[in-house]
A and B are shown apart, each in its own frame.
Chain A
Amino acid sequence: MPKNPDVKKVLVIGSGPIVIGQAAEFDYAGTQACRSLKEEGVEVVLINSNPATIMTDGDIADHVYIEPLTIEVLKKLILKEKPDSILPNMGGQAGLNLGMELEESGFLKEHNVKLLGTTAETIRKAEDRQAFKDTMEAIGEPCAPSKVVETVEDGVAFTKTIGYPVVLRPAYTLGGSGGGIAHNQIELEEILENGLRLSRVGQVLVERCIAGWKEIEYEVMRDSAGNVITVCNMENIDPVGVHTGDSIVVAPSQTLSDKEYQMLRSSALNIISALGITGGCNVQFALHPTSFEYCVIEVNPRVSRSSALASKATGYPIAKVSAKIALGYTLDEIKNAVTGKTYASFEPALDYCVVKMPRLPFDKFLTAKRTLTTQMKATGEVMSICSNFEGGLMKALRSLEQHVDCLRSYDFTALSKEELLERLTKVDDMRIFVIAEAVRKGLSYEDIHRITMVDNWFIDKIAILTEMEARLESEELSEELLREAKRLEFPDNVIARLSGKAESEIKALRQQYHIQAAFKTVDTCAAEFAAETPYYYSIFDGENESLPESNGRKKVMVLGSGPIRIGQGVEFDYCSVHATWAFARAGYETIIVNNNPETVSTDFDIADKLYFEPLTPEDVENIVNIEKPDGAVVQFGGQTAIKLTEALMKMGVEILGTKAEDVDAAEDRELFDRILEETEIPRAAGGTVFTAEEAKAVANRLGYPVLVRPSYVLGGQGMQIALSDAEVEEFMAVINRYTQEHPVLVDKYLMGKELEVDAVCDGEDILIPGIMEHVERTGVHSGDSISVYPAHTIADTVKERIAEYSRRLAKALHVKGLINIQFIAIGEDVYVIEVNPRSSRTVPYISKVTGIPIVDLATQVILGKKIRELGYEPGLQPNAGYVAIKMPVFSFEKIRGAEISLGPEMKSTGECLGIGKTFDEALYKAFIGAGFDLPKHKQIIITVKDADKGEAISIGRRFAKLGYTIYATRSTAAALNDSGVKARKVNKIHQESPTVMDLLLGHRIDLVIDTPTQGRDKSRDGFLIRRTAIETGVNCLTSLDTANALLSSLEAKENEDALELVDITKIL
């Protein structure tokens, strides 16, 4: 069927801020879909509140709105842009829910807008628990015995009939939010109550526990003619019980015979047909490990994290094909762009093994429970491709950038056999290392399998790796042994460590024996057809297929940013992709190296060549050996890429842009201090230390409070404000968990306004698109602060000083390309906090708001152009016509036990943007976009530390004036009442009921303002109050500056009806 001629203008809904369970994969899907639609001549209108995405760029869609994703905003947008159709299945659960609501409200029908790619009926059948069960029953596809309940009592009664344990799944939530496994009535009541609250429709599915069964997924496609295909299947190494987003996953399935494989494949195709989905769909199965019994766990009638993974694992572009299907094409009409010979109705055949590992955020949340459950906790993931499973696992491990490079990276050698048996019962992110130790200690596969339910095939693969470790330790390093170790993807440094040799010796031996990496192509067809798309992975046991062309073009290698984690999000992929495009426009052949399957940069048609590889020096060197690039850029890929600078230089690769020694100068305390002295720029006093003793000495010299942080880190990792010697000791201990190559910095803590600048420097001149001002005072990490462009409360003289300091710094550091500088302003005085001669998380945001294509300019500058030649007058640019406010978004509810209070270490997972003509309008949009939907009940709780009591009074007064009822704990209540602000006193947790907890659990609270006392004591009341607020879905603020901003927004009485929607493509 050819394209539907009625579809001329399509509204694509994005997924909003990055949160756990909804990450960069939707930027990838949405970007691919928009490009696919534009390719067909369709006019594309895009809405997404997330400014860090590639999809919200003027060259991806025709009209781009970075606006809050609410029904009201969408309705306004539809009235303004008048699309004839809307594509909701690219924006994850958030997009689907919005599409569904618009359809249900009759708005789409009223305005003659068609829902493309899916119907409301399809969404309902897949997402509504009861409707889904009924549909499955009708077509004979089994679900686990279950019941949808709307009350805790019903849940308890039903569970009595099927027995514990039971799995609880709230309807219409993402990433399994609010779900869990209950082993007894107490747990059941607790989880159920929470889940009912979080569900959009107040429903939770209570179901027979199938934990321990094999978890198998199928990605399937269907077109409007009813043709169906499977893109690929995947097997979770972690059996049912761990969310697939937190599982180690392998593609294709490894332990299924054809009978099981085809049984589930046919079932998945039956399901997509019965649901009438047009486009992609993900079906998750639980398969009994010793029978043919299976259950359908879940169906996602849209692109998903799994579909992004499947796309990258196979080379089959699911989102692109889905978009074409939405336009009316059938699978046999859509060309497979990878082969150029086959069609989208061809099922990919893999001739390699893909391993995905989750990137879990426990390094950021030290107090959090590491247990893995049906609620997803990972912020991102890595994927690896190899000809064998062991190699895939080894590559994935080192791609995580979590100080792991082999199965010994977590040390469990101290545990006895008995202790290991006990430890194996714990399902957490370290389980695979525990299994490895259990194998080393000689526990039987049967015992390990019985406890973990991990299939023996995987246990044996782990055993093969531990056997290799033992051989490397005990045997002479023969050619045969080294060859086999490399086939299993042991990195040279691990081989060196185990064999007691130097890494350089291993490298020399490999050269001597000609053991070099070769590259194979991901071609969707197991080599049956010649592929046109150069998408490669490395192996050590075969012929090389990646043959560099001599096409006369210069060749540049763009190092990607690895897995999405807190502090290094999708914004660096934005920078990498834009840099790649800019290099291509300048006539370069481009090569991307990255390992993140969720991103746009790893789409097969972004660069001329894609290498899906770990970002370690050795892995990158393998590529360099083959490609011999003319240069590499590291300044766009965040810390991951920056860390490779030195290694690349040693390989003889020219670093394009700012030189490595200048990057070092910005990070090295002594060098940097010298530069500051020369340029006469003040900074907070401080010193560099390695030990806690040294740190305390410096702290006492400076006087508390001090800021303690490691150098060369991203997102303020490990950064803390210390008030006492005891805290310095605590923080130093945390930082020194890993050996620090670079010293720790101890600085005097200055309190003032934090300001930030992203700029492009050509070595002489500097272009500053704008100055951003943080709402929260210093001490809150810049990534967690509300950021306002243009800076609105500082004097012009301060702005000029910032511009001047920026110019001096960029010049002194010989910056060629991007630079990010953070300042503190105290009155007229400006101090520099830190300088990063590279891209930052605010680059996409400031580019879009000002209409200045910063990455593109930086790339051209790197290639030798001057700012003036590019048509820009150097210096601070005039303000754009809009105020833009970036609001951080957190995923605290997903991480049990995580401390939510803001500090110098970054905790937010994503951000949204509010753009408006005025500060108030922008702020209002930013709050709405971040999910602050006030007022509801007009009741708030205030509990602040003593130092904040004064400010709390003015905040209380303003809330009271707005008609809010204020509850406060004892001393806060007293302070408020003493100043004439009426506050009701509530008891602390350990006192008699009703306590602050009862109040929270009563669901009548809009907001909690809680400023934490210092120290990381989990048992404190404040911690429990904050956690309870988050887990019951109550907004919680831990900075009074944020509270003041929220008040300003509430006082301004903005409302959704009056908002002006801004097409950012028209800003220029």
Chain B
Amino acid sequence: MKAFLILEDGTVFSGTHIGADKEVVSEIVFNTSMAGYPEVLTDPSYAGQAVCMTYPLIGNYGVVTEDMESVRPWLDGLIVRELSRMPSNFRTDMSIQDFLEKYEIPGISGIDTRALTRLLRDSGTMNGLITTNADYDMAEVKARLSAYRTGEVVKKVTCKEKYTVNGSKTLEENGPISGSSVYTGEKEMRPSMVKKLNGTGKKIAMLDLGLKVNIVRSLAQRGCDVTVYPATTSAEEILKSNPDGIMLSNGPGDPKDCGTIIDEVRKLYESDVPIFAICLGHQLMALATGANTYKLKYGHRGGNHPVKDLADGRVYISSQNHGYVVDMDSLDPKVATPAFINVNDGTNEGLNYTGKKVFTVQFHPEACPGPQDSGYLFDRFIEML
């Protein structure tokens, strides 16, 4: 079946319909990761957005359910150049097509994704409509597109009730340490990058703003007990549990749409509990402490962005997914100073909070998908507790 992607500026891409048979209006963004599309599909930070994968061959290894970063896919639509008809990997559970249908997510394939990417790069992120209706009325579509807002998506993706994930008691529980695996002929566990249990006995409270499970896993595999709270939980409730540390997760949307959550984050900041925040959590902490955020022209989404640790000048390749960024000009050095910057465009990638055991990063040390280079930040957090 033919499908169309219509953008705010009137550009129309025609391709082939994939996934669920429904129409969707969303914010169109692109991701440059060459592998890891199942993680992208299930990253709650994409709620309210439809994602164009710039790598042209998607679905080559199908979907592996154990690689899902949350319970379901959250993005509104998937835009690819070519969907593989032959998912091939020893862990494949289903094809992308089946996965999209199961979760009622529409998409489009067979379009020139590079042309779309160039358009978004030059014009900035735009809203778009994915539809199979060839008789669309452009004026009506444009009106719908310009009216679209991602809105308060955090509330949509956060968990409904708190839950606890217990830390590993032994390294063996995490699965084989990467590299040590020996094929036994049985389906084995995924290897773990974690090489020491330095978090044993530590209690972490995690504010779920739309979290990727590998953030929880990264702590639990180091031995931490992690309690995950819905985004709307009050600071009082979290602090009442006497956590050794607090983590603010990643999440979707404009940080300024988070309203009262920002007030609660301010209260967490004012406690003396060490805090580590990622992505949206990082932005909310900045907003809560008086700094500002702004929207990037077309965001950073991919697995190849270099970030520089300003403490020692080292550069790490990071996994990124953000459309907003903390305005470094708005920082009060008495409150926070830049800890990381993006090597390419010099934008902020992390903050150290002055006089507090609080540090936050814009990128994703939990990887999934993407480079595992900055996983050491979880160790840094644990050492702070």
**Residues on A facing B (Cβ under 8 Å):** 140-142, 225-230, 252-259, 261-263, 265-267, 269, 288-294, 330-332, 341-343, 345-353, 387-389, 455-457, 460-461, 520, 525-530, 541-543, 545
Whether A256 touches B56, Cβ cut-off 8 Å, given contacts A262-B370, A526-B117, A542-B112, is no
Contact B112 A543 (CB under 8 A): yes
Contact B34 A346 (CB under 8 A): no
B359 on the interface (CB 8 Å rule)? no
- For A528, list chain B residues within 8 Å (CB): 30, 32, 54, 117, 121, 302
Q: Which of A267, A292, A455, A525 contacts B88 (CB 8 A)?
A: A455
Q: List 14 A-B contacts (CB under 8 A).
A: A140-B179, A257-B36, A258-B368, A263-B191, A291-B184, A342-B343, A348-B304, A349-B302, A350-B55, A351-B56, A353-B56, A457-B61, A460-B86, A527-B114
Whether A350 touches B34, Cβ cut-off 8 Å, given contacts A266-B372, A267-B179, A529-B121, is yes
Q: CA of A292 to CA of B175 in the docked complex: distance in angstroms?
A: 11
Contact A457 B183 (CB under 8 A): no
Residue of A nearest to B299 (CB): A528
- For B177, list chain A residues within 8 Å (CB): 140
Whether A460 touches B88, Cβ cut-off 8 Å, given contacts A263-B191, A341-B344, is yes
Contact B181 A291 (CB under 8 A): yes
Q: Which of B117, B195, B317 contacts A229 (CB 8 A)?
A: B317
Q: Which of B39, B121, B304, B315 contacts A530 (CB 8 A)?
A: B121
B267 on the interface (CB 8 Å rule)? no
Contact B61 A257 (CB under 8 A): yes
B115 on the interface (CB 8 Å rule)? yes
Q: Which of B38, B308, B372 contacts A332 (CB 8 A)?
A: B308
- Other than the given A142-B179, A526-B54, A528-B117, 8 more pairs (CB < 8 A) read A140-B179, A228-B373, A258-B67, A292-B178, A349-B33, A349-B303, A529-B344, A545-B118
Q: Which of A289, A332, A350 contacts B343 (CB 8 A)?
A: A332
Q: CA of A860 to CA of B114 in the docked complex: distance in angstroms?
A: 41
Contact A345 B343 (CB under 8 A): yes
- For B314, list chain A residues within 8 Å (CB): 225-227
Q: CA of A253 to CA of B179 in the docked complex: distance in angstroms?
A: 19
B369 on the interface (CB 8 Å rule)? yes
Contact B86 A457 (CB under 8 A): yes
Whether A257 touches B67, Cβ cut-off 8 Å, given contacts A293-B181, A457-B60, is yes
Residues of B112-141 contacting chain A, CB below 8 A: 112-115, 117-118, 121-122
Q: CA of A460 to CA of B62 in the docked complex: distance in angstroms?
A: 14
Contact B89 A525 (CB under 8 A): no
Contact B35 A456 (CB under 8 A): no
Contact B181 A269 (CB under 8 A): no
Q: CA of A351 to CA of B370 in the docked complex: distance in angstroms?
A: 16
Q: Which of B30, B117, B317 contacts A345 (CB 8 A)?
A: B317
Residue of B nearest to A253 (CB): B35
Residue of B nearest to A141 (CB): B179
- For A288, list chain B residues within 8 Å (CB): 183
B27 on the interface (CB 8 Å rule)? no
- For B61, list chain A residues within 8 Å (CB): 255-257, 457
Residue of B nearest to A352 (CB): B56
Q: Which of A267, A520, A526 contacts B55 (CB 8 A)?
A: A526
Q: How far is the CB of B71 from chain A (nearest CB, A)?
A: 19
Whether A252 touches B343, Cβ cut-off 8 Å, given contacts A259-B67, A351-B114, A352-B56, is no
Q: CA of A119 to CA of B195 in the docked complex: distance in angstroms?
A: 29
- For A290, list chain B residues within 8 Å (CB): 90, 183
Contact B317 A389 (CB under 8 A): no
Which of B77-85, B99-107, B156-164, B350-358 is the contact stretch?
B77-85
Q: Which of A331, A341, A349, A387 contacts B34 (CB 8 A)?
A: A349
Q: Which of B60, B115, B117, B193 contacts A255 (CB 8 A)?
A: B60
Contact B114 A520 (CB under 8 A): yes
Whether A262 touches B371, Cβ cut-off 8 Å, given contacts A226-B314, A332-B315, A457-B84, is yes
Whether A142 touches B180, Cβ cut-off 8 Å, given contacts A262-B370, A350-B34, A351-B32, is yes
Q: CA of A267 to CA of B191 in the docked complex: distance in angstroms?
A: 12
- For B253, list chain A residues within 8 Å (CB): none
Contact A258 B36 (CB under 8 A): yes
- For B316, list chain A residues within 8 Å (CB): 227
Contact B179 A257 (CB under 8 A): no
- For B304, list chain A residues within 8 Å (CB): 346-349, 525
Q: How far is the CB of A1034 from chain B (nearest CB, A)?
A: 43
- For B193, list chain A residues within 8 Å (CB): 263, 266
- For B117, list chain A residues within 8 Å (CB): 351, 526-528
B188 on the interface (CB 8 Å rule)? yes
Residue of A nearest to B367 (CB): A262
Residue of B nearest to A445 (CB): B86
Q: CA of A262 to CA of B374 in the docked complex: distance in angstroms?
A: 13
Residue of B nearest to A230 (CB): B317
Listed from nearest, the 9 A-B pairs whose CB atoms lie closest are A258-B36, A542-B112, A460-B86, A347-B304, A457-B88, A526-B54, A290-B90, A258-B369, A349-B32
Q: CA of A346 to CA of B300 in the docked complex: distance in angstroms?
A: 13
Write the B270-307 contact mask toward A (1 if CB under 8 angstroms, else 0). 00000000000000000000000000000000111110
Q: Which of A263, A269, A345, A542 contacts B115 (CB 8 A)?
A: A542
- For B39, list chain A residues within 8 Å (CB): 258
Q: CA of A1064 to CA of B195 in the docked complex: distance in angstroms?
A: 56
Contact B181 A332 (CB under 8 A): no
Q: Which of B32, B88, B180, B372 contacts A140 (CB 8 A)?
A: B180
- For A460, list chain B residues within 8 Å (CB): 85-86, 88
B259 on the interface (CB 8 Å rule)? no
B24 on the interface (CB 8 Å rule)? no
Contact B54 A349 (CB under 8 A): yes
Q: CA of A352 to CA of B84 in the docked complex: distance in angstroms?
A: 14
- For A142, list chain B residues within 8 Å (CB): 179-181
Residues of B30-67 contacting chain A, CB below 8 A: 30, 32-36, 38-39, 54-57, 60-61, 64, 67
Whether A254 touches B54, Cβ cut-off 8 Å, given contacts A140-B180, A342-B344, A527-B121, is no
Whether A527 touches B315, Cβ cut-off 8 Å, given contacts A229-B306, A266-B178, A387-B56, is no
Q: Give the one of B85, B179, B305 with max A CB within 10 A.
A: B179
B196 on the interface (CB 8 Å rule)? no
B190 on the interface (CB 8 Å rule)? yes
Q: CA of A495 to CA of B161 in the docked complex: distance in angstroms?
A: 61
Contact A343 B306 (CB under 8 A): yes
Contact B114 A261 (CB under 8 A): no
Q: CA of A990 to CA of B314 in the docked complex: distance in angstroms?
A: 68
Residue of A nearest to B298 (CB): A528
Q: CA of A257 to CA of B371 in the docked complex: distance in angstroms?
A: 13
Q: CA of A292 to CA of B192 in the docked complex: distance in angstroms?
A: 11
Whether A346 touches B344, Cβ cut-off 8 Å, given contacts A257-B64, A288-B183, A528-B121, is yes
Contact A346 B343 (CB under 8 A): yes
- For B60, list chain A residues within 8 Å (CB): 254-255, 457
Q: How far is the CB of B54 from chain A (nearest CB, A)?
A: 4
Contact B373 A269 (CB under 8 A): yes
Residue of A nearest to B61 (CB): A257
B176 on the interface (CB 8 Å rule)? yes
Q: CA of A525 to CA of B314 in the docked complex: distance in angstroms?
A: 22
Q: CA of A291 to CA of B343 in the docked complex: distance in angstroms?
A: 36
Contact A257 B118 (CB under 8 A): no
Q: How far is the CB of B11 from chain A (nearest CB, A)?
A: 11
Q: CA of A967 to CA of B118 in the docked complex: distance in angstroms?
A: 73
Q: How far is the CB of B367 from chain A (nearest CB, A)?
A: 6
B143 on the interface (CB 8 Å rule)? no
Q: How far is the CB of A353 from chain B (nearest CB, A)?
A: 6
- For A343, list chain B residues within 8 Å (CB): 306, 343-344
Q: Which of B112, B179, B371 contacts A294 (CB 8 A)?
A: B179
- For B184, list chain A residues within 8 Å (CB): 291
Contact B183 A293 (CB under 8 A): yes
Contact A291 B90 (CB under 8 A): yes
- For A227, list chain B residues within 8 Å (CB): 314-316
Whether A257 touches B188, Cβ cut-off 8 Å, given contacts A140-B179, A293-B183, A530-B121, is no
B182 on the interface (CB 8 Å rule)? yes
- For B315, list chain A residues within 8 Å (CB): 225, 227, 330-332, 345
